Amino acid sequence: MKYIISGGGTGGHIFPAISIANAIKRQDPFAEILFVGAIGRMEMERVPQAGYPIEGLPVRGFDRKNLLKNVSVIIDLLKSTRKAKKIIAAFKPDIAIGVGGYASAPTLKAASNVGVPTLLQEQHSYAGVTNKLLAARASKICVAYEGMEKFFPAEKIILTGNPVRQDLFAVAPKAREAYEFFGFDPAKKTILIVGGSLGARTINRSIKEGLQSLAGSDVQCIWQTGKLYVTEAREAAASFRNSNMIVTDFVTRMDYAYAIADLVISRAGASSISELCLLAKPVILVPSPNVAEDHQTKNALALVNRDAAVMIRDADAEKSLVHKALELIENDPALEQLSKNIAQLAQRNSADRIVDEVFKIIEQRKNF
């Protein structure tokens, strides 16, 4: 069988795409898989690293601030549409899978136009523009949140959740090793602060502002700053000479970090939330305001409305994030309730469940 997987732009799109490809390979070892991404975007590097071929389209997003720049965007879209048609004609896929992002629109449209069935995977609680445009011709739409009928035809929706990193599972047995790895005291509470691979400026600034309070508490912190902020963060933390704080740009053993985290501070990306649900970790979410359609706020509210997370808006974080974290980490009943509620939202074996739908669509097409 031949499979095209298209989309990307951010890790939140790319990781589910690679997880789906890996799940296809587990069930169909002879599968031929081709990715289609956007030239210059993260997927052009990450997908080959995962062992899969990828074709690039010159597609990019519309500039909502400078409309004149969109003339060249439209030209690139037309070029991408032509190239997508050629890719579909040459590869002859049995199905095309879209995970959101710029490249999936021309790719899945080209596939649909020649009768190739399509499946969409929507990571967020608020559907992206690309998936909304493609939904009418999709065979199935795999979603991570309930209530997606407001965006997609109800009969096409399958609740599967988002694929997550498999190495994060079974963290509880690793706790003893994890405390030794970080040099932390098991008798003390631990906060994990996650800023992403590049770093979340507001979260980092908020922690920097609250360093004195954190240093004066008996709480241990793993502060993952991202590449852009690590030097500044280390300089700020050094003045407190606090052995209870680790400052790093990248956590090599995220499974260990999650294993000992009593509370997590994170952005509200779809993949992060899915991991936190599966791990049943109490979390303070600080949604990024710099994302399309403010989907991180909507992701966060989907949890907050179920009493499964605490949310602090980006604009309020520098003033209140550390105070709220220190208050919450000393409230064991609140932590237990958050853990219990977020665990109820977990969707397990998501990649395999998505691939089950892929195989059903291919089988139905054969029998049609």
> Is there a single domain that holds both residue 127 and residue 245?
no
In this structure, are 152 and 6 located in the same domain?
A: yes
Distance of CA 233 to the CA centre of its chain: 25
**What's the whole-number average pLDDT of the chain?**
90
Number of domains in the chain: 2
For residues 156 and 7, membership in a common domain is answered with yes
pLDDT band at 271 (very low <50, low <70, confident <90, very high): confident
Tens of pLDDT, residues 284-314? 999 988 776 788 999 999 999 999 999 999 9
pTM: 0.83
Q: Which of 39-53, 178-192, 224-238 has the highest mean pLDDT?
A: 178-192
101 vs 318, more confident: 318
Same domain, 151 and 224: no
pLDDT at residue 63 is higher than 70: no
Q: pLDDT at residue 241 above 90? A: no
Question: Kind of pairing, strands 263-266 and 190-194?
Answer: parallel
Angle at 261 between CA 144 and CA 232, to 5 degrees: 100
Answer with the residue of higher pLDDT: 46 or 2: 2
Token code pair at residue 255: 């499974």
Checking if the pLDDT of 60 tops 90, the result is: no
pLDDT digits (tens, 9 = 90+) for 163-201: 887 666 666 668 889 999 999 999 999 999 997 655 588
Please indicate, yes or no, whether residues 171 and 41 belong to a single structural domain of this protein.
no
Range of the domain at 187: 167-343
Same-domain check for residues 174 and 143: no
- In this structure, the answer to whether residues 33 and 179 fall within a common structural domain is no
pLDDT value at residue 39: 92
Q: For residues 338 and 352, state if they share a domain.
A: no
Output the domain CATH number for residue 35.
3.40.50.2000
Confidence of residue 96 (pLDDT cuts 50, 70, 90): very high
First to last CA, the chain: 17
Give the pLDDT of residue 142. 97
Share of the chain above pLDDT 90, in %: 68
Q: Which of 62-66, 122-126, 218-222 is predicted least confidently? A: 62-66
The verdict on 234 and 296 lying in the same domain is: yes
CB neighbours of residue 136 within 10 Å: 10
**Is the same domain home to 133 and 201?**
no
Question: 152 and 57, same structural domain?
Answer: yes
Q: Look at residue 171 in the predicted model and tell me its pLDDT.
A: 63
pLDDT-based confidence at residue 256 (cuts at 50, 70, 90): very high
* 318 and 194 part of one domain: yes
| pLDDT on residue 198 | 52
